Each structure stands twice: as C-alpha cells, then as structure tokens.
Amino acid sequence: MPFPHAPASTSSITSGPHPIRFNFENTYARLPERFYSRLNPTAVPTPRLIKVNVELARALGLDPEALASPEGVQVLSGNRLAEGSEPLAMAYAGHQFGYFVPQLGDGRANLLGEVVGSNGLRYDIQLKGSGPTPFSRRGDGRASLGPVLREYIVSEAMAALGVPTTRALAAVTTGEEVLREEAFPGAILTRVAASHLRVGTFQYFSAQDDVEGTRILADYAIARHYPGAAHTKHPYRALLDGVIARHAALVAQWMLLGFVHGVMNTDNTSISGETIDYGPCAFMENYDPNTVFSSIDHQERYAYSNQPRVALWNLTRLAETLLPVFAQELGDEASALASAKEALAAFTPQFEAARLAGLRRKLGLVTERKEDAALAEDLLNRMAANRADFTLTFRRLCGAAAGPEGDKEVRTLFSDPGAYDAWATGWRRRLEEEPIASAQRAATMRMANPAFIPRNHMVEAALDAAVEQQNLQPFEDLLDVVSRPYEDRPNLERYTKPARPEERVNHTFCGT
C-alpha cells in the first residue's frame, strides 16, 4: 500500500526577510502523491555554514553569497523554506546486498525542488540529513559530520575527474549531536543530482503490481533523462537501452580510476547514470581486483572486480520492473522478455569496449590494435602481483611515455622491478606504431591518469580533524587538491603518496 500523504509541519519553518531565490521549477511534485510523502525538513538549533560550492552554485544560477548569508544557512539547514520549495521524501524500494526490501524511501532526506542550470538541464536540490520522514524506519533522519564531509570530498573529486556524479552544493553543521556507535556532531549536505530516480524507484511500484505507476515513472524518466526515446518506435525499450549504456560507461570509468563504490544496492543505482550515495566508498592504492572497503560487505559482493557484474545484476532488476510496460508496448509477454534480454545482452560488450578504450588512453595509445587488451591486462596482472599503486603507476607512465628515462620512477613501484621492465619492452614496441610524438602522447596521458585522488588515509585524516578538533582546514586543503586532479602542482607531493602501513584505512563505514 502506498504511503499516506503526510501533511507538512510549518511550526518552526519561517520565510525570511531576504528570500533565497532558487527559481524552483518542480516536476516530480506534480506526479501522483503515492510517489512521495510531502513534509518539511526538521528544524535544527544552531546551524553553521561549513562550505558553499561557489562554482556549482553559479552554474545552477544561484547566488553563492546569498547561500552563505545567515538567511541562506537557514535554508541549507532546513530551518527555512526558499520561495517555491515543495519539500518531499521520495518513495523507493531496493535490493540491499542482494536482499529485497519493498519499501525504503528517503529516510533522512528532503527533495526541496528542482532548478534549471545554465546548461539548460534540470537538477534536484536535496537536503541529506534533514530529519525523519515516514520512510525512516525508526531512524533519526540525521547525518553526522564525517559522512557529510566524505561525500562532499569524494563527489567533488569524481566530478573533477570527469565521472558523472551527484554534487555537493553546500554543507552545514546543525548544532546538535547524532548518536551512532557514539555521539557525533550533526551535519546536513545539500546534494545536487540530475535526479534522484533509482532502479529502486521502479522496484517500489513493481513490488505493488502498480503497472500504471511504473508506466508514469517510465514516462517521467524518459522526459527528464532520455527525451530521444519518446520519438522511437518502442520508447520503454529505448529507456532501458539508455540506462544500460550509461551504466556501462559509468562503471568503466570507476574501474579505470580504481574506485570502489562499496554499496551498489539497487536503491543506489541511478536512472540518470550518475554515481550516487557515497557511503563506504574509497579509491584503491595497491592494485588488487579483490579490494573491498565496506565494513559490512562480508561476502565481498561489491569488491572492485565485481562492480561490472553487480551493475548488470542491478540493471536486470530494472528490466524486470519494465516487463509489464514492455508487454503493453510490444503486445505480449514473450516479446517483452525477449526484448529485455536483448537489451541486457548489450551491457557487457559496451562496458568492455569503454574500459578498453579507457585503458588505451591511459597507456598512450590513440590507434587500435588487437593485442592492446592483452598488453593492458598483462600490466594489471603484474601490478597486482607486485602490489603497485594503481594511481601512481599510471601517472608515472606519462613520464615513461616521454622517454625511457622515465622508467625509473615507475619500476620503483613494483616489488620486483624486473616485472615492469619485461612489460615495458612490449609497450615501447607498441608505442613505436603510434603516429604522435612522445611529448604530445605524455600530455594526453596526463589527462587520463590523475595525479591526485582522495586517498583514503587523507580523507580520514581530514574527517578526524573536523570531527575531533573542529579543524576544517585539512578538509579545505584536500578539497582544493582533488578538485584539480590532472595538474602537476608543486609542493603537494604528499597528497600523491600511498598511505604508510600505520596510516592505512582498510575499512570504511556507511555513515547511517
């Protein structure tokens, strides 16, 4: 049964003398009310600004100075509603570590509304950690400072790396404590997304046999994210094709950067093809395909190497929800099933093609040869056997591509430097077949191989300083570094180095 409409409480929410203008244009709030529950954020005692993302604010047509003002902080904390805001908590379901939960929803988030950016695209503005909702399942609906800062750092790093992702518009502290395994300072993240539609959103209606709701949601997703699909013979199949293609490209990008999402549940699989929900995420240091960071992933379901398989599994769940509208579109269930299987069969070839194209860029190859895949896999296997740092190896290959004198810096990353030497011989033979000069090749490679990633020990150090010492400078410094990941920047070498043994952070936590 759908959630009942929840009346908004306005007892502690007021309009300010200088309204913050978001120019909201809300479309999701026009959908039937079984899609969400309307309610306002829960007020907090003493909100204080941590950070406003000036560049992103301007791209969204917002005034960053107004957002940072006392009135703006009241909006970013949920204490005050901006003009045109229609707060709601979205309904969705999801498979969590393989187990289906038919009703999840925004248990600690409010979708304030939608804005149209300077690029003409529509974006959700959401408060994360804004208090309990009808979907909270006895939770407090709050977020603590550490996970908020982690999502801010990592999502902005991913954006700078060129990966489709939600973004952080702002963060505030709330002046109250939230209780997890111990008491932590509370915080709220203002998150920006192309939308918050998830595979789990479709599963919510499917679980209730609400075919009309599934169709309405599919039509909305097409209009918002895949408008070209509306003009095809089979729009719902085109929708599925589009989501599959975007996730094939997305997960390939994750793999090419050594990124481990950590909690690839279907409710964390976005229809827009963005990376969403940065919980126990991290970037690998020593290359190991079996790397797992999440403290609750005991079965290693979401290990680095499993991410493509899990993405396909999640997309298969989406296809299942669409079978009834496929059947309406195609005329019968057998045709619907065949069409869904055909669409899903495209994922692996698309992912493998995107990954191989990315590996060629990382290795400085602009032409295609049949043996390129074997060359790349041979390097990865040698990196794994020699515990070579993923990011540093590829970044230092940029120098080696300029000339053999650069080999020295790469081979020191291998426990057996001869393993690199043996591979480099074949790589150099392959580079001789390329039509570009070595200097141009090295420059191109530097745009595919970042110098800086948010290394886990650096992230944790920044979070510890903020939470335990109320010192936000390490957060600011790290954010500045990862926001320009492809530049060689003097005096910042410490951010490129792997963790020392005593600094290693092998387990990360969801934060809920």
Tens of pLDDT, residues 448-488: 999 999 999 999 999 999 999 999 999 999 999 999 999 99
Q: How far is it, in rounded angstroms, from Cα 72 to Cα 327? A: 48
Encode pLDDT of 266-281 as tens digits: 999 999 999 999 989 9
* Cβ pair 191, 169 in contact under 8 A: yes
What confidence score (pLDDT) does residue 239 get?
A: 98
Q: Could you tell me if 188 and 56 lie in one domain?
A: yes
Residues 333 and 397 in one domain: no
- pLDDT-above-70 percentage for the chain: 96
The region of weakest confidence among 16-20, 113-117, 205-209, 365-369 is 16-20
Burial class (CB in 10 A: 0-12, 13-18, 19+), 409: middle
Reply yes or no on whether the pLDDT at 257 is more than 50.
yes
Backbone φ and ψ of 171, nearest 5°:
-145, 140
| Long-range Cβ contacts of 288-293 (<8 Å, 24+ apart) | 288/384, 288/387, 289/384, 291/260, 292/260, 292/262, 293/260, 293/262, 293/456, 293/506, 293/507, 293/508
Is the pLDDT confidence value at 173 over 90? Answer: yes
| 73 and 177 inside one domain | yes
Are residue 98 and residue 37 in the same domain, yes or no? yes
With a cut of 90, say whether residue 258 has pLDDT above it: yes
Q: Is residue 4 part of a domain?
A: no
Q: Is residue 509 part of a domain?
A: no
Count the Cβ atoms, other than its own, within 10 Å of residue 10. Answer: 10
Cβ-contact 265, 94 below 8 angstroms: yes
Q: What is the pLDDT of residues 392-408, one digit of tens each?
A: 999 999 999 988 999 99
Q: Note whether 134 and 3 are within 8 A (CB).
A: yes
pLDDT of 131-150, one tens digit each? 999 999 888 999 999 999 99
Instruction: Assess if residue 183 is contained within a domain.
Output: yes
- The verdict on whether 277 is a catalytic residue reads no
Same domain? For 57 and 134 the reply is yes
* Residue 60 placed within a domain: yes
- To the nearest whole percent, how much of the chain has pLDDT over 90? 89
pLDDT of residue 369: 97
Query: Using N-to-C axis directions, what is the helix angle for 333-345 and 307-330, rounded to 10°?
Result: 150
Taking each helix axis from N to C terminus, what angle separates 390-402 and 372-385, rounded to the nearest 10 degrees? Answer: 130
Domain that holds residue 415: 365-446
For residue 9, pLDDT over 50 is answered with no
Q: Which residue has the higher pLDDT, 241 or 7?
A: 241
Question: Quick one: 252 and 162 in the same domain?
Answer: no
Q: Identify the pLDDT of residue 86.
A: 97
pLDDT of residue 507: 77
One domain, residues 483 and 409: no
User: What whole-number distance in Å separates Cα of residue 499 and Cα of residue 157?
Assistant: 18
Burial label, 390 (beta-carbon count in 10 A; 0-12, 13-18, 19+): buried
Number of domains in the chain: 4
User: How big is the chain by its Cα radius of gyration, in Å?
Assistant: 23
- Statement to judge: residues 441 and 461 lie in one domain: no
> Residues 106, 124, 241, 267: which is the catalytic one?
267
pLDDT at residue 205 greater than cutoff 80 = yes
* Residue among 355, 425, 392, 401 at smallest CA distance from 497: 392
Summarised one tens digit per residue, pLDDT across range 80-126 is: 999 999 999 999 999 998 899 999 999 999 999 999 999 999 999 99
Give the pTM: 0.94
On whether both 175 and 249 belong to a single domain, the answer is no
Query: What pLDDT is attached to residue 511?
Result: 59
208 located within any domain: no
Q: Is residue 9 part of a domain?
A: no
**Mean of the per-residue pLDDT values of the chain:** 93
**What's the pLDDT tens digit per position in 410-430?**
999 999 999 999 999 999 999
Q: What is the DSSP string of 209-271?
A: T-HHHHHHHHHHHHHHH-GGGGGSSSHHHHHHHHHHHHHHHHHHHHHHHTEE-S---GGG-BT
Same domain, 387 and 323: no
Mean pLDDT for the stretch of residues 160-186: 96
C-alpha to C-alpha distance for 359 and 365, rounded to whole angstroms? 9
The reply to whether 167 and 90 lie within a common domain is yes
pLDDT of 370 above 50: yes
pLDDT at 19: 58
Residue 236 lies in a domain: yes
Q: Give just the sign of the alpha carbon dihedral 222, 228, 231, 233.
A: negative
